[in-house]
Every structure is written in structure tokens, then in C-alpha cells.
Amino acid sequence: GENVEQHPSTLSVQEGDSAVIKCTYSDSASNYFPWYKQELGKRPQLIIDIRSNVGEKKDQRIAVTLNKTAKHFSLHITETQPEDSAVYFCAASKRSGGYQKVTFGIGTKLQVIP
């Protein structure tokens, strides 16, 4: 089955700096790569996603890049703010038996220091 590796597991940055979280996946059939943000005590919520026919996607201060050849995708947050502090999960998804199966990474705890 699919294996998603995510690193780093923890990341501390100064407010205003950039943060980068990286993920690799194993199954070349994966075609959808979402990123979820989970604030303390809250549910995970989608912040950005990318499909396999696109190499990069940007939404204000966040961007995701995808390298299908290397099976690697990354989340980039620029001009970090304290409210960006949360756990971020990457995921890889593929069609399997009529269902879009999703495999999550273990998460990255991001701390933005004011």
C-alpha cells in the first residue's frame, strides 16, 4: 500500500520567516495531494491541495509544489504568523476499487515564535 513520509516532525520559526514541510510518497498511482492544518484541540481542515497534473499551486502565503518523478511534494508558508502555529498533515490519495483512498503523513508541529 501507499506509504507517506513527512518531515520534519517539529519545526520552529521566527515570525515573518518561511516554513517548509516535505513529504514523499511511494505509489506512483497517487494523483491528489492535500494538506490539512489542525489547530490545538480542533479538527483537521484542508488548507491547500494539488493534483498530479499540476506542478505548483499558490494561495496567498501558502504554496505547494509537486515533483511526480521524485514522488515528492512540499508545503511552503511565507511570512509566518503566530496563528500559523498548528500541526500540518500531508496526504497522498489515489483511486482504489471505486474509492479515493487517502494516506496521511504523521504530521509536523509548526511553532511560530513571535
Partner 1 sequence: EAQVTQNPRYLITVTGKKLTVTCSQNMNHEYMSWYRQDPGLGLRQIYYSMNVEVTDKGDVPEGYKVSRKEKRNFPLILESPSPNQTSLYFCASSSELYNEQFFGPGTRLTVL
Query: Is residue 11 close enough to count as binding partner 1 by CB under 8 A?
Result: no
Taking the C-alpha atoms of residue 10 and residue 65, their distance in angstroms, rounded to an integer, is 20
Query: Is residue 99 close enough to count as binding partner 1 by CB under 8 A?
Result: yes
Taking the C-alpha atoms of residue 43 and residue 89, their distance in angstroms, rounded to an integer, is 12
Least spacing, CB of residue 79 vs partner 1, in Å? 25
* Given 19, 89, 92, 112, the residue binding partner 1 (CB under 8 A): 89
Radius of gyration of the chain (CA): 14
Which among 88, 66, 68 is positioned nearest to 77, based on CA atoms?
88
* Given 12, 26, 67, 100, the residue binding partner 1 (CB under 8 A): 100
Distance of CA 42 to the CA centre of its chain: 17
Query: Is residue 49 close enough to count as binding partner 1 by CB under 8 A?
Result: yes
Which residues bind to partner 1, rule: CB under 8 A?
1, 6, 9, 32, 34, 36, 42-46, 49, 89, 93, 97-107
